[in-house]
Amino acid sequence: IAGITQAPTSQILAAGRRMTLRCTQDMRHNAMYWYRQDLGLGLRLIHYSNTAGTTGKGEVPDGYSVSRANTDDFPLTLASAVPSQTSVYFCASSDITSGGNEQFFGPGTRLTVL
Amino acid sequence: GESVGLHLPTLSVQEGDNSIINCAYSNSASDYFIWYKQESGKGPQFIIDIRSNMDKRQGQRVTVLLNKTVKHLSLQIAATQPGDSAVYFCADINQAGTALIFGKGTTLSVSS
Protein backbone atom coordinates (compact mmCIF):
# COMPACT_ATOMS: atom_id res chain seq x y z
CA ILE A 1 0.00 0.00 0.00
CA ALA A 2 1.30 3.45 -0.87
CA GLY A 3 -0.66 6.49 0.24
CA ILE A 4 -4.40 6.19 0.67
CA THR A 5 -6.62 3.43 -0.60
CA GLN A 6 -10.40 3.38 -0.72
CA ALA A 7 -12.84 0.54 -1.27
CA PRO A 8 -15.00 -0.13 -3.10
CA THR A 9 -14.19 1.85 -6.24
CA SER A 10 -17.87 2.12 -6.99
CA GLN A 11 -21.13 0.77 -5.63
CA ILE A 12 -24.79 0.79 -6.50
CA LEU A 13 -26.94 0.54 -3.40
CA ALA A 14 -30.65 0.22 -2.75
CA ALA A 15 -32.18 2.92 -0.55
CA GLY A 16 -32.45 1.87 3.06
CA ARG A 17 -29.42 -0.41 2.96
CA ARG A 18 -26.41 -0.01 5.21
CA MET A 19 -23.05 0.65 3.59
CA THR A 20 -19.50 1.14 4.85
CA LEU A 21 -16.88 2.85 2.74
CA ARG A 22 -13.36 1.86 3.66
CA CYS A 23 -10.28 4.05 3.83
CA THR A 24 -6.75 3.05 4.76
CA GLN A 25 -3.54 5.08 4.79
CA ASP A 26 0.02 3.93 5.34
CA MET A 27 1.66 7.30 5.94
CA ARG A 28 1.05 7.28 9.71
CA HIS A 29 -0.82 10.57 9.39
CA ASN A 30 -2.69 11.54 12.54
CA ALA A 31 -5.59 13.31 10.83
CA MET A 32 -8.09 11.81 8.41
CA TYR A 33 -11.11 13.22 6.61
CA TRP A 34 -14.14 12.24 4.56
CA TYR A 35 -15.49 14.50 1.83
CA ARG A 36 -18.29 14.17 -0.65
CA GLN A 37 -18.06 15.76 -4.06
CA ASP A 38 -21.14 16.75 -5.98
CA LEU A 39 -21.34 18.54 -9.31
CA GLY A 40 -21.39 22.29 -8.79
CA LEU A 41 -20.80 22.06 -5.06
CA GLY A 42 -17.14 21.14 -4.84
CA LEU A 43 -15.81 19.09 -1.94
CA ARG A 44 -17.69 19.22 1.35
CA LEU A 45 -16.39 17.83 4.61
CA ILE A 46 -18.52 15.10 6.20
CA HIS A 47 -16.47 14.00 9.24
CA TYR A 48 -12.89 14.24 10.37
CA SER A 49 -10.56 12.75 12.94
CA ASN A 50 -7.51 14.55 14.30
CA THR A 51 -6.13 11.44 16.00
CA ALA A 52 -7.04 7.84 16.67
CA GLY A 53 -9.94 7.60 19.07
CA THR A 54 -11.43 11.03 18.25
CA THR A 55 -13.84 12.20 15.56
CA GLY A 56 -15.62 15.42 14.69
CA LYS A 57 -18.45 16.61 12.49
CA GLY A 58 -17.86 18.51 9.31
CA GLU A 59 -20.17 20.58 7.14
CA VAL A 60 -22.56 17.78 6.09
CA PRO A 61 -22.50 15.02 8.76
CA ASP A 62 -26.16 13.97 8.80
CA GLY A 63 -26.76 10.38 7.74
CA TYR A 64 -23.11 9.41 8.16
CA SER A 65 -21.00 8.04 10.97
CA VAL A 66 -17.29 7.35 11.33
CA SER A 67 -14.94 5.58 13.69
CA ARG A 68 -11.20 5.79 14.23
CA ALA A 69 -10.08 2.71 16.10
CA ASN A 70 -6.49 3.03 14.90
CA THR A 71 -4.23 5.41 12.99
CA ASP A 72 -4.54 3.76 9.61
CA ASP A 73 -8.26 3.15 9.11
CA PHE A 74 -11.17 5.57 8.92
CA PRO A 75 -14.39 3.88 7.71
CA LEU A 76 -17.47 5.89 6.77
CA THR A 77 -20.87 4.29 7.38
CA LEU A 78 -24.23 5.13 5.89
CA ALA A 79 -26.70 3.54 8.29
CA SER A 80 -29.70 3.75 5.93
CA ALA A 81 -28.77 5.08 2.52
CA VAL A 82 -30.95 7.65 0.73
CA PRO A 83 -30.78 8.81 -2.91
CA SER A 84 -29.40 12.22 -1.87
CA GLN A 85 -26.27 10.41 -0.70
CA THR A 86 -25.44 9.57 -4.29
CA SER A 87 -22.03 11.17 -4.69
CA VAL A 88 -18.32 10.61 -5.05
CA TYR A 89 -16.67 10.13 -1.68
CA PHE A 90 -13.05 11.00 -1.01
CA CYS A 91 -10.97 10.09 1.99
CA ALA A 92 -7.94 12.21 2.86
CA SER A 93 -5.21 12.33 5.48
CA SER A 94 -2.71 14.87 6.76
CA ASP A 95 0.09 15.18 9.29
CA ILE A 96 -1.12 18.08 11.40
CA THR A 97 1.56 17.63 14.05
CA SER A 98 4.21 18.87 11.64
CA GLY A 99 2.31 22.14 11.24
CA GLY A 100 1.35 21.39 7.70
CA ASN A 101 -2.15 21.21 6.33
CA GLU A 102 -1.57 19.47 3.03
CA GLN A 103 -4.12 16.74 2.65
CA PHE A 104 -3.47 13.63 0.61
CA PHE A 105 -6.52 12.21 -1.13
CA GLY A 106 -7.55 8.72 -2.06
CA PRO A 107 -8.92 7.79 -5.49
CA GLY A 108 -12.55 8.07 -4.40
CA THR A 109 -15.63 5.84 -4.19
CA ARG A 110 -18.50 6.50 -6.55
CA LEU A 111 -21.75 5.65 -4.75
CA THR A 112 -25.17 5.50 -6.36
CA VAL A 113 -28.23 5.08 -4.16
CA LEU A 114 -31.37 4.02 -5.97
CA GLY B 1 -19.67 32.74 6.95
CA GLU B 2 -16.71 30.94 5.52
CA SER B 3 -16.58 30.53 1.80
CA VAL B 4 -13.96 30.10 -0.78
CA GLY B 5 -14.85 30.63 -4.36
CA LEU B 6 -13.38 30.88 -7.79
CA HIS B 7 -14.27 33.66 -10.19
CA LEU B 8 -14.80 31.57 -13.29
CA PRO B 9 -16.08 28.01 -13.56
CA THR B 10 -14.21 27.39 -16.82
CA LEU B 11 -11.05 28.63 -18.52
CA SER B 12 -9.88 27.70 -22.00
CA VAL B 13 -6.32 28.39 -23.15
CA GLN B 14 -3.97 27.42 -25.95
CA GLU B 15 -0.99 25.21 -25.30
CA GLY B 16 2.01 27.33 -24.39
CA ASP B 17 -0.03 30.22 -23.01
CA ASN B 18 0.09 31.25 -19.39
CA SER B 19 -3.04 30.47 -17.34
CA ILE B 20 -4.35 32.45 -14.40
CA ILE B 21 -6.98 30.97 -12.13
CA ASN B 22 -8.50 33.25 -9.52
CA CYS B 23 -10.00 32.66 -6.12
CA ALA B 24 -11.67 34.89 -3.54
CA TYR B 25 -12.09 34.05 0.12
CA SER B 26 -14.23 35.55 2.85
CA ASN B 27 -12.47 34.62 6.10
CA SER B 28 -10.02 37.44 6.82
CA ALA B 29 -8.49 35.34 9.60
CA SER B 30 -7.40 32.59 7.19
CA ASP B 31 -3.65 32.09 7.37
CA TYR B 32 -3.15 29.19 5.03
CA PHE B 33 -4.24 28.57 1.45
CA ILE B 34 -3.73 25.64 -0.84
CA TRP B 35 -4.33 24.80 -4.49
CA TYR B 36 -5.37 21.37 -5.69
CA LYS B 37 -5.61 19.86 -9.15
CA GLN B 38 -8.17 17.17 -9.90
CA GLU B 39 -8.00 15.15 -13.07
CA SER B 40 -11.06 13.31 -14.33
CA GLY B 41 -11.81 10.21 -12.24
CA LYS B 42 -9.09 10.90 -9.69
CA GLY B 43 -8.77 12.45 -6.26
CA PRO B 44 -7.48 16.00 -5.76
CA GLN B 45 -3.70 16.39 -5.90
CA PHE B 46 -1.70 19.05 -4.05
CA ILE B 47 -0.11 21.71 -6.24
CA ILE B 48 1.16 24.49 -4.01
CA ASP B 49 0.33 26.27 -0.76
CA ILE B 50 0.98 29.67 0.76
CA ARG B 51 0.79 31.14 4.24
CA SER B 52 -0.62 34.57 4.97
CA ASN B 53 2.80 36.00 5.87
CA MET B 54 3.76 35.65 2.21
CA ASP B 55 2.34 37.33 -0.89
CA LYS B 56 3.98 35.09 -3.47
CA ARG B 57 5.27 31.57 -3.72
CA GLN B 58 6.69 29.76 -6.71
CA GLY B 59 6.84 26.12 -7.62
CA GLN B 60 7.62 24.28 -10.78
CA ARG B 61 5.75 26.23 -13.53
CA VAL B 62 3.26 27.46 -10.95
CA THR B 63 3.07 30.63 -8.88
CA VAL B 64 0.52 31.51 -6.24
CA LEU B 65 -0.15 35.14 -5.43
CA LEU B 66 -1.96 36.25 -2.29
CA ASN B 67 -3.55 39.67 -1.84
CA LYS B 68 -4.83 39.86 1.71
CA THR B 69 -6.15 43.39 1.26
CA VAL B 70 -8.83 42.24 -1.16
CA LYS B 71 -8.87 38.61 0.04
CA HIS B 72 -7.87 37.23 -3.29
CA LEU B 73 -5.43 34.60 -4.45
CA SER B 74 -4.47 33.37 -7.86
CA LEU B 75 -2.71 30.40 -9.40
CA GLN B 76 -0.54 31.11 -12.39
CA ILE B 77 0.56 28.25 -14.64
CA ALA B 78 3.37 29.05 -17.05
CA ALA B 79 3.54 27.51 -20.52
CA THR B 80 0.31 25.57 -20.04
CA GLN B 81 0.38 22.02 -21.36
CA PRO B 82 -2.44 19.62 -22.32
CA GLY B 83 -1.62 17.65 -19.17
CA ASP B 84 -2.63 20.66 -17.12
CA SER B 85 -6.25 20.17 -18.18
CA ALA B 86 -8.13 19.50 -14.96
CA VAL B 87 -10.34 21.08 -12.33
CA TYR B 88 -8.45 23.41 -9.98
CA PHE B 89 -9.62 24.09 -6.45
CA CYS B 90 -8.46 26.66 -3.95
CA ALA B 91 -8.98 25.96 -0.27
CA ASP B 92 -8.36 27.57 3.09
CA ILE B 93 -8.53 26.41 6.69
CA ASN B 94 -11.89 26.61 8.45
CA GLN B 95 -12.25 28.78 11.54
CA ALA B 96 -11.92 25.81 13.86
CA GLY B 97 -8.68 24.88 12.15
CA THR B 98 -9.91 21.34 11.68
CA ALA B 99 -10.21 21.01 7.93
CA LEU B 100 -9.98 22.65 4.56
CA ILE B 101 -12.82 24.59 2.98
CA PHE B 102 -12.84 24.10 -0.78
CA GLY B 103 -14.08 26.40 -3.49
CA LYS B 104 -16.25 25.02 -6.26
CA GLY B 105 -13.46 24.68 -8.79
CA THR B 106 -12.38 26.03 -12.19
CA THR B 107 -12.15 23.66 -15.13
CA LEU B 108 -9.05 24.41 -17.20
CA SER B 109 -9.11 23.18 -20.78
CA VAL B 110 -5.90 23.31 -22.81
CA SER B 111 -6.08 22.95 -26.56
CA SER B 112 -3.15 22.10 -28.80
Q: What is the CATH number of the domain that holds A64?
A: 2.60.40.10
Side-chain-side CA neighbours of A23 within 13 Å: the count stands at 32
Could you tell me if B32 lies within 8 Å of chain A, comparing CB atoms?
yes
Tally of domains within chain B: 1
Distance CA A70, CA A26 (A): 12
Residue B104 sits in a domain of what CATH number?
2.60.40.10
Mean pLDDT of chain B: 89
Residue B19 burial by Cβ neighbours in a 10 Å radius (0-12, 13-18, 19+): buried
Question: How would residue A100 be classed by pLDDT, with cut points 50, 70 and 90?
Answer: low
Q: What is the pLDDT of residue A39?
A: 84
Q: What is the pLDDT of residue A85?
A: 98
Could you tell me if B40 lies within 8 Å of chain A, comparing CB atoms?
no
Q: From the CA of B42, how many Å to the nearest CA of chain A?
A: 5
- Please report the DSSP string for B23-76 in residue order: EEE--TT--EEEEEEE-TTS--EEEEEEETT-SEEE-SSEEEEEETTTTEEEEE
Q: If we measure between CA atoms, which residue out of A112, A93, A78 comes closest to residue A34?
A: A93
pLDDT tens digits, B61-111? 999 999 999 999 999 999 999 999 999 999 988 766 777 888 888 999 999
Mean pLDDT of chain A: 93
Interfacial A residues in 62-81 facing B (CB < 8 Å): none
Tally of domains within chain A: 1
Question: Which SS3 state, helix, strand or coil, does residue A49 take?
Answer: strand
pLDDT tens digits, A47-80? 999 999 999 999 999 999 999 999 999 999 999 9
For residue B46, give its domain range: 4-111
Q: Is the pLDDT of residue B2 over 60?
A: no
For residue A37, give its domain range: 4-113
